[in-house]
Amino acid sequence: MSVADPLSMSALELAAAIRSRRLSAREAVGAHVDHARAVNPTLNAIVVDRYEAALHEAELADARLERAGADVEALPPLLGVPCTIKESFAYAGLPNSSGLLRRRDVIASEDATTVARLKQAGAICIGLTNVSELCMWMESNNRVYGRSNNPYDPRCIVGGSSGGEGAIVGAGASPFGLGADIGGSIRMPAFFCGVFGHKSTGGLVPGTGMHPLSENEALRYLATGPITRRATDLMPLLRILAGPDGHDHGVMPLELRDPESVDLGALEVSVVEDNGKTPVDHELLESLEQAADILEGLGAKVQRRRMPELGRGFDLWSSAMALAADTPFRELLGEGQAIPVGRELLRWVFGRSQHTLPALVLAAVEDFRPIIPAIEEQRRLVAEAMALRAQIDAQLGARGVLLFPTHPRPAPRHYAPLLRPFDWVYTAIFNVMELPVTQVPMGLSQAGLPLGLQVVGGSGNDHVTIAAACALEREHGGWVRPPAGPAVGSLA
Return the SS3 of 314.
Answer: helix
Separation CA 462–CA 166 (nearest Å) = 21
Q: What CA–CA distance (Å, rounded) separates 289 from 474?
A: 17
Rounded CA separation 179/153 (Å): 22
Please confirm, yes or no, whether 353 is among the known catalytic residues: no
Q: Report the distance separating Cα 339 and Cα 336, nearest Å.
A: 9
Cα-based angle 95, 100, 102 (whole degrees, multiple of 5): 85
Ordered alpha helix ranges (H), 96-249: 113-120, 163-170, 187-192, 218-221, 234-241
Which of 10, 86, 174, 200 is flagged as catalytic? Answer: 86
Distance, in Å, from the CA atom of 233 to the CA atom of 235, rounded to the nearest integer, reads 6
187 exposure class (CB count in 10 Å sphere: 0-12, 13-18, 19+)? buried
Whether 247 contacts 208, CB under 8 Å: yes
Residue of 165, 98, 150 whose CA lies nearest to 355: 98
**161 part of the active site:** yes
Q: How far apart (Å, rounded) are the C-alpha atoms in residues 317 and 330?
A: 19
Say which of 161, 200, 287, 353 is annotated catalytic. Answer: 161
Question: Which of 97, 185, 445, 459 is the catalytic position?
Answer: 185
Q: Which residues contact 404 (CB under 8 A, 6 or more apart)?
A: 272, 288, 310, 426, 453, 454, 456
Residue 435: how many other CB atoms lie within 10 Å: 25
Count of CB atoms within 10 A of residue 42's CB?
18
Is 199 catalytic? The answer is no
* Residue 155 CA from chain centroid, whole number: 21
Q: Please tell me the distance from the alpha carbon of residue 145 to that of residue 351, in angstroms, as a whole number.
A: 16
Length of the chain: 492
Where in 172-299 does DSSP place strands (E)?
A: 176-181, 196-199, 223-228, 268-272
Residue 439's CB is within 10 A of a number of other CB atoms, namely 30
Percentages of the chain per state (helix, strand, coil), in multiples of 5: 40, 15, 45
Q: Which residues are catalytic?
A: 86, 161, 185
